[in-house]
Structure 1
Amino acid sequence: MELNGTFLDQIAETALSIAVAILPLAALFVAFQVFMLRLPRREVKDILLGTALAAAGLFLFLLGVSIGFLPFGRAIGEAVGAMQNMWMLIGIGLFLGFTTTWGEPAVRILADQVDEVSHGGIPGIMVLYAVCLGVAVWVTLGLLRIKFGIPILHLLLPGYIIAVLIIAMSDRDFVAIAIDASGVATGPLANTFLLALALGASAAMDDQSPVTHGLGLVALIAVAPIISVTILGLLIRRKVAKE
């Protein structure tokens, strides 16, 4: 009974959060439709249907995150934190960082929009790979920081200094893409699975506080695409100059 009660509470809480997020947007669309847009009835029906489907998908996603994704990530983090083999830790960090970002919906949307707006001049798949590789490297650095108790500023400050220096040398187009990539890379997957992974890894260290060492991974993930996408821009500019 207690398990069923907890499950029903999770359903109710998730449904309420979805309603708070979606209903104001739907009401705003209806107001614009009545007073300004006046779209055909078929288009309004399609938009409302798509909104309902998106809300249902978001509900299922967030419910799965709260019930399974967070505990799953924390359990993996505890196992990773207990590893003594540093190379295995690096391999797992690279793999989890890459695959988690690869599955991030917002990252894929950004890559598709870059490809569309640039008319294929900046291939979306290259942007996707750049973001995924950048996050993979910095997730690994974040796990090593937890493993060896390195203060987060020792990674974060040099990372942003490098990002600013590369931005100063980059084209404005890639700077804009890199900044947006930084925002979308810290999406729902990173903020659930990878954050839980870091907290679990820190909890496996008996001499560490999860608050001090477990948190901060998302900040490292945010700087990763800025560096990797701007580097991609520099490589593309160099290739074009040679051609």
Structure 2
Amino acid sequence: MVPMIGVQLYGMWVYTFGGGGGTPTTGSDQGSTPLWLEHVVGLAEMVRDVAPMVIVVLFFQYVALRRKLSHPLRVAVGFVMVLVGLYAFVVGLTMGLFPLGTQMAEQLIDRGVPALILLFALLIGFATTMAEPALVAIADQAENVSPAGINATAIRLVVATGVAVGIALGVYRILSGGPLHYFIMVSYAVVIVLVVLAPKYIVALAFDLGGVTTSEVTVPLVTALGIGLASAIDGRSALLDGFGLIASASIFPIISVLLYAIALERIPRLRKEST
């Protein structure tokens, strides 16, 4: 939530005092750069982005803790693998998921069937969430420490259902042109009510699951879908209407997990009362 506040404060500053935007790169400029040079520059930028994290870790290891690394060569090799993997991941997004999301949005709009667009949003939200590695890891951890017998597979299904519903509602907002802030306020009002009703052990997990579901698999495709839909519909703005799907995908898993925990706690109690 703090990054949301920071970005909104930044937006208030920009729209109040103005800010200089970058000069867009033309297609001719991109075409004149050799491919190998683009990859070299991309890797250099990746090193620049990852360097602060490495500096912090090494500072605390050698200066604050005053201890040497146990396996420096292994750590160095792992760092190189991380850099190459991250860069390959970014290139893969640019070549694969982003164009795919945009193309699907354009094709769905051309069909002119809103129900088909909502169905695609629902199914792609469910499918991408089930593939999120972070969700698998947290669901397994929750199953191990849960006092109420939470099942990891059930958690994944519940979270994926929440993401699917959230993305579908977000797509409906883009199609209908509704304002995002009303949608967000109503959704968080529901979350607040459920936090009061849900068992306390599930609240922190529910909010964490809302964050991990919008990770490396879901975000690229869903973001491209939202921008593609907003760009293909007359009267929509890619900036104002195209974004916001990730917010929907973050809120509704919280709601679905809280509802799951409430049902998990109340159903056995209701069975006992009925007998």
Give CA deviations for 1:138-165 in whole Å, capped at 9, x if unaligned. 1111112222222223422221111111
Whole-Å separation in 2 of the counterparts to 1:139 and 1:108: 20
1:99 corresponds to: 127
Separation in 2, partners of 1:216, 1:230: 22
Which structure has the bigger radius of gyration? 2
Q: Deviations over 1:86-145 (max 9, x none)?
A: 332222111111112222232223223323433893222222212111011111111122
Residue 188 (structure 2) aligned to one of 134, 145, 160: 160
Instruction: Name 1:76's counterpart in structure 2.
Output: 104
Matched with 2:141 is 113
Task: Judge conservation of contact 2:122–2:165 (CA < 8 Å) in 1.
Answer: yes
Q: Is 1:192–2:220 an aligned residue pair? A: yes
TM-score, with structure 2 as normaliser: 0.76
- What stretches of structure 1 of length at least 5 have no aligned partner? none
Alignment partner of 1:59 out of 87, 90, 114: 87
Q: Does residue 1:204 correspond to 2:232, yes or no?
A: yes
Q: Which moved more, 1:122-131 or 1:222-231?
A: 122-131
Q: Structure 1 residues 164 and 82 mapped into 2: Cα distance closer, same or farther (>3 Å)?
A: farther
Structure with greater helix percent: 1
Q: Which residue of 2 aligns with 1:86?
A: 114
User: C-alpha distance in 2, partners of 1:62/1:211?
Assistant: 22
State the identity %. 26
**1:104 aligned partner, one-letter code:** E
Cα distance between partner residues in 2 of 1:91 and 1:213: 19
CA separation in 2, counterparts of 1:6 and 1:207?
39
> Which digits, 9 at most, give the CA deviation of each residue in 1:154-205, with x for residues without a partner?
4222211111111111122211011111221222333321111011011111
Contact 2:43 2:83 in 1 (8 A): no
The residue number in structure 2 matching 1:127 is 155
Q: Number of residues paired by the alignment? A: 242
Determine if contact 2:43/2:84 at 8 Å carries over to the other structure: no
* 2:201 paired with 1:173: yes
Q: Which moved more, 1:211-220 or 1:158-167?
A: 211-220
2:241 is paired with a residue of what secondary structure? helix
Q: Does 1:41 align with 2:70?
A: yes
Give the one of 234, 239, 242 matched to 1:214. Answer: 242
Q: Equivalent residue for 2:172? A: 144
CA 33–4 in structure 1, closer or farther in 2 if over 3 Å, else same: same
CA pair 46-209 structure 1, distance change in 2 beyond 3 A: same
Q: 8 Å contact 1:73–1:193 — kept in the other structure?
A: yes
- The higher relative CO (CA closer than 8 Å, separation ≥ 6) is in 1
Indicate how the Cα distance of structure 1 residues 85 and 213 shifts in structure 2: closer, same or farther if over 3 A, else same: same
User: Scaled by the length of structure 1, what TM-score is found?
Assistant: 0.85
Question: 1:146·1:214 contact (CA, 8 Å) conserved in 2?
Answer: yes
